[in-house]
Structure 1
């Protein structure tokens, strides 16, 4: 049956069914299609039944989260695709026009591909909307706010540079009458900003500290990783888990969960299906993550760890009558991820 012919209840059942049977092959595209259809249907229902507005907002949030976080993987789960990401971010804006993190990531991708007119537009939107946006999950963190201003400045400087250099190609006889600007300060500002952004492009988290570093430093570390150390690297193409001479690519969900376990869990405060609910947003029923789906996902993650010959570092416990998991801190770790591409990695 086509989605447009299904009731809201049937769409909800289909969403849950897809999540339960997807296993290690997430069906992001199918879930996004379901959420889009639900949002379109609920928008019509809310016109006559305003009490359904909160449910519409809830489903819209799930849709936007999936478009932002998983859109880049619609073609291949383990390999990121900038063009897919851009298309999905544009779709997200059609449902949530003022979302600051969507505008920010569109700005970053436009800047990466040297489309400075678009990057300027998107970064300006991110900066303008962020202070007033109500949903904390989709707001910029402090580092992203600083970077947004630097990217915005550089976008404007690149546009000014290209415009000035284009003046010399104008087919006029009186070019000598044009003003001659001093470009050295402009080039200096561009270079300084680029160096700053490059040096602080990635977070590098260990048990001792959270620091920033360049992509080059991350690539060097993943090539010559320290022995007996878990290295989790969210690079520009894949999410790679490395331990000694072994490595495996992770999907976004497993990468997110492992990052959370390594950096935030402990025996005193283990991770539960409540604290990890952002990573199980499509399996939430009556406000709760499905227990079996949560346990299955954790077991699959443990299998990934074993494939790298990583000792059993994720322990199971009971916390407030919930099955919980925590990293036992028996091995050092390094987690690296790009400042500009994640939603609320530091909280």
Structure 2
């Protein structure tokens, strides 16, 4: 067994031996470590493990004890981490779709009607060409969306659009496969009917697949945004424009590229950089309150200015590693330390069009 997996096994056994108060203390320690940006590579695995153990303990308690220890809040936090960081449970820098699938399925154990979990599972099934499963997940995503009360886990407008496209295509793939299987019974099928039906299905599939392919990613520049294919994104990464910082949220990692040099970032710093590039300027800088989503809330503690400053400093250090010119300036804004993109170099940001950023505003 690899040393990392062995250590994680020991970690999980230790959790089972902790008291509920010790588990809460451990949670606070891990959140503090995460806020420091010096966390272990598998920090999200540990955090999820602690929340799971807390929820497991509280599920066996009385209603009064559950309320006292905030069972519903703990369950929601667990779901949040599984949704937002499920693909990073193995390592902060590499996305793992198998781990993500396990995380989204785990979400449904705690919140079976979670629309975005069903949507993500449908997308993963579709990528694996498991169209019957994908059809089921997308149907449930759209069904549960109608009555789901927590907007954080609802589909946004673009995801709803894609859910309908993926659902239609999944059903068409299943139908096409069924029609193909009918070829085993030639005596029961008219030769005039079969080609027309298959031709219709094939044309519809091709049209929808073309839309999904050509609008799979969104590319932001200072001039605005446009849709593009994954292949076009890869071409940009292979031959990026000169003096342009490129931030690419790929299916495997979050990459910053500048003049032939690259560095990978965890999700939070990558999204912070995206926020600075796309949403700030000298007249509209970002304070710690604008970026509070990138800070892990701790008990009885607000966002410390020093923590915000340290996070930006570490992001700048990562950018300097690939010799990106200083593009994030600081200022005072309404009595607060603030930062903004100064426009010193051009930028390109590329991400899947149905990606959900941690900050609420859709790009």
Same fold (TM over 0.5): yes
Report if aligned partners of 2:32, 2:298 keep a CA contact under 8 Å in 1: no
Report if aligned partners of 1:284, 1:290 keep a CA contact under 8 Å in 2: no
Aligned: 1:28 with 2:39? no
* Residue aligned with 1:285, SS: coil
Aligned: 1:224 with 2:239? yes
Please state how far the C-alpha of 1:8 moved relative to its aligned partner. 4.1
Map of 1:62-101 to 2, 5 A cutoff? 62-101=77-116
Deviation track 1:270-322 (CA, whole Å, cap 9, x = no partner) reads: 333333233323x4333634554433322211110111111221123344444
Report if aligned partners of 2:97, 2:124 keep a CA contact under 8 Å in 1: yes
- 1:267 is aligned to 282
Higher relative contact order (Cα pairs below 8 Å, separated by 6+ residues): 1
Structure 2 Cα separation of the partners of residues 127 and 145 of structure 1:
7
Structure 2 Cα separation of the partners of residues 142 and 4 of structure 1:
42
Please state how far the C-alpha of 1:19 moved relative to its aligned partner. 3.5
- 2:64 is aligned to 48
Report if aligned partners of 1:108, 1:340 keep a CA contact under 8 Å in 2: no
Structure 1 residue runs of 5 or longer lacking an equivalent are none
Report if aligned partners of 2:286, 2:338 keep a CA contact under 8 Å in 1: yes
- 1:104 is aligned to 119
- 1:190 is aligned to 205
* Residue aligned with 1:340, SS: coil
Q: Which of 287, 311, 316 is the equivalent residue of 1:302?
A: 316
Report if aligned partners of 1:86, 1:106 keep a CA contact under 8 Å in 2: yes
CA 13–266 in structure 1, closer or farther in 2 if over 3 Å, else same: farther
* Residue aligned with 1:123, SS: helix
Structure 2 Cα separation of the partners of residues 311 and 224 of structure 1:
19
Aligned residue pairs, count: 341
Structure 1 Cα separation of the partners of residues 321 and 212 of structure 2:
35
* Residue aligned with 2:184, SS: coil
Report if aligned partners of 1:42, 1:52 keep a CA contact under 8 Å in 2: no
Structure 2 Cα separation of the partners of residues 69 and 195 of structure 1:
28
CA 215–345 in structure 1, closer or farther in 2 if over 3 Å, else same: farther
- 2:6 is aligned to none
Structure 2 Cα separation of the partners of residues 265 and 190 of structure 1:
41
Structure 1 Cα separation of the partners of residues 155 and 330 of structure 2:
33
* Residue aligned with 1:263, SS: helix
CA 129–288 in structure 1, closer or farther in 2 if over 3 Å, else same: farther
Deviation track 1:69-123 (CA, whole Å, cap 9, x = no partner) reads: 2221222322211111100111111112111111111111100000111111111
Q: Which of 327, 330, 333 is the equivalent residue of 2:347?
A: 333
Please state how far the C-alpha of 1:149 moved relative to its aligned partner. 0.2
Report if aligned partners of 2:58, 2:65 keep a CA contact under 8 Å in 1: no
RMSD, aligned CA: 2.3
* Residue aligned with 1:168, SS: helix
Structure 2 Cα separation of the partners of residues 286 and 254 of structure 1:
25
Please state how far the C-alpha of 1:191 moved relative to its aligned partner. 0.4
- 2:136 is aligned to 121
Structure 2 Cα separation of the partners of residues 219 and 43 of structure 1:
46
Please state how far the C-alpha of 1:48 moved relative to its aligned partner. 2.0
Please state how far the C-alpha of 1:33 moved relative to its aligned partner. 0.6
- 1:38 is aligned to 54
* Residue aligned with 2:226, SS: strand
Structure 2 Cα separation of the partners of residues 56 and 268 of structure 1:
43
CA 51–20 in structure 1, closer or farther in 2 if over 3 Å, else same: closer
- 2:153 is aligned to 138
- 1:14 is aligned to 26
Please state how far the C-alpha of 1:206 moved relative to its aligned partner. 1.6
- 1:178 is aligned to 189
TM-score (norm 1): 0.90
* Residue aligned with 2:103, SS: helix
Which stretch of structure 1 is more off in the superposition, 225-234 or 259-268?
259-268
Structure 2 residue runs of 5 or longer lacking an equivalent are 1-12
